[in-house]
Amino acid sequence: MPVEIDPDGLGASGQALGVVATRFGQALTAFQAELAAFGRPWGSDDIGSLIGAAHDEVSAFAFECFDGALDEISAAGADLGDMAIRYAETEAAIERRFDGLRRALEG
């Protein structure tokens, strides 16, 4: 079963992932700002302090995970773009070699 690679499709997918990463980053920034705008509605008494500490830890961990996912999506897009370039270059080199061989055989 032959494997077919579409460098243009890979490049387009890489660009699309870049767009997704940008939009995700913007949405994440907006979400963080909206969350911060609520302030600390649980108050500063003992129970409120416990809730606030739990909230801070959970949200810090969640945003760390979101940032990691954002980095991975962005890197995957860049990797696909690089892969597309390498496949296109390899394909062009193979074509040049076959053309040279054809010309040599034609005399």
If one compares 78 and 3, the residue with the highest pLDDT of the two is: 78
* pLDDT tens string 79-96: 999 999 999 999 999 999
**Residue from 77, 82, 81 nearest 25 by CA:** 77
* pLDDT tens string 15-53: 999 999 999 999 999 999 999 999 999 998 999 999 999
- Is it the case that residue 2 has pLDDT exceeding 90? no
Check: CB of residue 16 under 8 Å from CB of residue 8.
Answer: no
Q: What is the reported pLDDT for 51?
A: 94
Q: What is the reported pLDDT for 3?
A: 84
Within 10 angstroms of residue 55's Cβ, the number of other Cβ atoms is 14
**Residue from 67, 101, 91 nearest 10 by CA:** 91
Select the highest-mean-pLDDT range: 1-15, 30-44, 60-74.
Answer: 60-74
* Domain limits, the chain: 8-35+44-81
Q: What is the reported pLDDT for 9?
A: 95
**Residue from 20, 15, 21, 31 nearest 79 by CA:** 15
